[in-house]
Amino acid sequence: MAGVYISYPFCAQKCSFCNFASGVYSRDKRERYEAALFEEMKGHEWLWRPETAYFGGGTPSLMPADLLCKLMDAIPGDGLREVTLECAPGTITRDSIRTWVGCGINRASLGVQSFVTKELRQVGRRHTAAVVEAEVRLLRDFGLPNVSLDLIAGLPGQTRQSWEESLDWIERLAPPHVSVYIFEIDEDSRLGNEVIRGGARYGANRVPEDELVAELYERAVTRLEALGIRRYEISNFARPGWESRHNLKYWKLEPYAGFGLDAHSFDGVHRWNSPDTLEAYLGMTGIGRTRIDTGEEHFFIGLRLMNGIEPTPEEWARFAQPIQKWVHGGMLEQDGSRLRLSSQAVLVSNDILQDFIQ
């Protein structure tokens, strides 16, 4: 079954660690984008009836209610089983939840990142743990119990102790789904750039060492599992039955249609992206499609799932060499016809997965 991704790239501030195509734009640009996004969805030739939708960004919880409902109406069929709205803490009210539920939203994903005020201020975030607590309660009370909370390991100034504090909050709030990302040091974020050039702005000189970040991640895996929130993908953890149906489509190579800035689409054979700058998106003409190698992607993407994959006979033969190498090295486990990452392989998965791109 297929999914729909809708990008709303507007934020109240640009967080220093963020490498998404998102930011603070003028009202004029925002309104032009909103009109273009609606036109793009309305004019789309739907090849399937979507089962999931995901509003990402950016901060879709800042989206005007009428636009959100219009976009939902532009999705054909009435079979949507999961509709997620990414929310920035501090943007959730009783009225907004009522509107979201009324439009068909049934899952909220909160970009909390940390529950420690010092860490949040350092990266440009304005919320507090108390705000998240109050908003999670509101979401539950007003019909959105399916909540996911995101954390990032590797933020400036993070310590073992402060990480325990964030995990204590997860325990207290008991969400059904948690995502734990590792801060990516790359040139696409101001903080990443500063770390690369050895500077100190944005707290870049206080980003924890890789070994500590790995330890924080492993600690999260252990603590979440003790709470019954099990890892089902490298960065994603859920109580049984609360996994994100939409995100599972990406890892299982099911089709999805993406709309808006830097949105990705996949029809089962081809993959394509819309432009990643607002100017280019607003002047969008055609988008080139790339035919994908489903064998490579089956390994590269599918192995992110803790359940692993069931390679086809052709794939066993084609990838015999890297499979053998990593099974012998203890990084891949073979269980009958399935292949999965071993627990020690998760943090070095990029090196392993790269081997399946030929």
Q: Which is nearer to ligand SF4, 71 or 87 (CB)?
A: 87
Other Cβ atoms within 10 Å of 56 Cβ, number: 22
Q: Smallest distance from the beta carbon of 63 to ligand SF4, in angstroms?
A: 13
d(CA 332, CA 352): 9
Q: Which is nearer to ligand SF4, 14 or 245 (CB)?
A: 14
d(CA 242, CA 181): 18
Task: Name the residues that contact ligand SF4, by CB under 6 A.
Answer: 11, 14-15, 18, 20, 22, 57-59, 88, 111
The residue type found at 217 is Y
d(CA 193, CA 187): 5
Other Cβ atoms within 10 Å of 105 Cβ, number: 26
Q: Which is nearer to ligand SF4, 36 or 261 (CB)?
A: 261
**Three-class SS of residue 95?**
helix
Q: Which is nearer to ligand SF4, 154 or 302 (CB)?
A: 154
Q: Which is nearer to ligand SF4, 58 or 156 (CB)?
A: 58
Q: Smallest distance from the beta carbon of 262 to ligand SF4, in angstroms?
A: 11
Q: Which is nearer to ligand SF4, 244 or 326 (CB)?
A: 244
Other Cβ atoms within 10 Å of 352 Cβ, number: 21
Which segments of 204-298 are extended strands (E)?
230-233, 236-238, 256-259, 264-266, 270-273, 290-291
Q: Which helix (H) or strand (E) holds 5?
A: strand 2-8
Q: Smallest distance from the beta carbon of 126 to ligand SF4, in angstroms?
A: 10
Question: Do 12 and 59 touch, CB atoms closer than 8 A?
Answer: yes
Q: Smallest distance from the beta carbon of 13 to ligand SF4, in angstroms?
A: 7
Determine the Cα angle at 41 with ends 50 and 15, to 5°: 95
Q: Which is nearer to ligand SF4, 11 or 68 (CB)?
A: 11
Which segments of 58-175 are extended strands (E)?
82-87, 107-113, 147-153
Q: Which is nearer to ligand SF4, 87 or 105 (CB)?
A: 87
Question: Do 121 and 155 touch, CB atoms closer than 8 A?
Answer: no
Q: Smallest distance from the beta carbon of 51 to ligand SF4, in angstroms?
A: 25
Q: Smallest distance from the beta carbon of 57 to ligand SF4, in angstroms?
A: 5
Q: Which is nearer to ligand SF4, 57 or 258 (CB)?
A: 57
Q: Smallest distance from the beta carbon of 20 to ligand SF4, in angstroms?
A: 5
Q: Smallest distance from the beta carbon of 152 to ligand SF4, in angstroms?
A: 9
Q: How distant, in Å, are the alpha carbons of 22, 120, 289, 326 from that of 124? A: 14, 6, 36, 41
Q: Parallel, antiparallel, or unpaired: how do β-strands 236-238 and 230-233 relate?
A: antiparallel
Q: Smallest distance from the beta carbon of 165 to ligand SF4, in angstroms?
A: 20
Determine the Cα angle at 324 with ends 318 and 325, to 5°: 115
